[in-house]
Structure 1
Amino acid sequence: MDGHLLIGIATPVTLKIVDGIDSLDAPTPCTGWDVRALVNHLLHWGPVLAAAARKEALAPGPAVDRTGGDWRALLRAQIDATAGAWSDPAAWEGTTRMGGPMELPADLIGGMVLGELVLHGWDLARASRVDPHWDDTLVLRVYDEIARCAVMGREMGVYAAEVPVLASAPTLARALGLSGRDPAWTP
């Protein structure tokens, strides 16, 4: 299934998870990040990812804590904006930038967006003790996208060292392990 369609499948599950967040201070599977830090990460990079879909170069601004006020509405709006931008088939074509001068294949960045929705969605779900369910086709694509850029992701510090997971484990567990997350993690 094309990436622009998978964005539409991933987004509602992630938004439901956002609605269920019960504590900004809860730990997440992202080492050293609580829910507040992860929400701020998503709010910080969301505009850059949405701009990349439109083939616009937008450098990320300074990292700030945006969890005062109605952070949930801000996060929902940012996820919707990013997903809306990547729902356009043209977003996945050609090359684009993520705030810097280096051009990257647009489908690589789109794959990262799928990964952000699922991996960070899972992080937030686990922090809130929720077990999310994404479509199998989506999860397989996310696994493939992680495999595609895992070495680069580790070099950039985006992914931790791979967590060994049985080859017979569900695809989501294997994707989590490949990204450096322990599928059995609990707060």
Structure 2
Amino acid sequence: MTAQFVLANTRLAPVPLTPEVRLHLADEAIELWERTESANGEQMPPPFWAFAWAGGQALARYVLDNPALVHGRDVLDLAAGSGLVAIAAMHAGAARVTAVEIDALAVAAIGINAEANAVAVTPLLGDVLEQEPDAEVVLAGDVFYSREMTRRMLAYLRRAAGRGARVLVGDPGRAYLPKDHLTLLAEYDVPVPQTLEDAPVKRTTVWAVNP
């Protein structure tokens, strides 16, 4: 059901800030949100996988423009959503990319989108934030949207940085962005669907996580 649901509710289109990457994206946010709530008569996670969020777009753009960051390295994309950042990392020459999600529909979308871009990405269903990181590069787009998620995500990202990984995040100005633990790398103006955000273009930043 998962792959069919993704394909039935999206269309393949270039990502605004990274047209090198095409994703299966939804045209209408509210209708798809309602469909995921009623699918199989049970509550499903929100369809974050169906949209190119600003944080992920900015991070993907940075990776594509700075391929030495990931070239030949083992990369982990956390809360990967559509798989945009993971796909960008593969285009930039990563040796291996694992894209982690807690939503089975997102895992299906990552596989479908990787195939559409002719790259190999390993989707992983599960919560890895209590595990010890071992990737050489860790990437996370738009993950500081709640206090609890920020606490857990920042702890994982700082552990990864402390073990020597290069750790980058993309953020469109979320309230819980932990700037005290980050170093600014780049800024972008990112087109986004207005049904998802408060403006059609979001000023979005890319940061390195400090150990």
Q: TM-score range by the shorter chain?
A: 0.3 to 0.5
With normalisation by structure 1, the TM-score equals 0.33
Give the structure with the larger helix fraction.
Answer: 1
Q: Structure 2-normalised TM-score? A: 0.30
**Larger RCO of the pair (alpha carbons < 8 Å, separation 6+):** 1
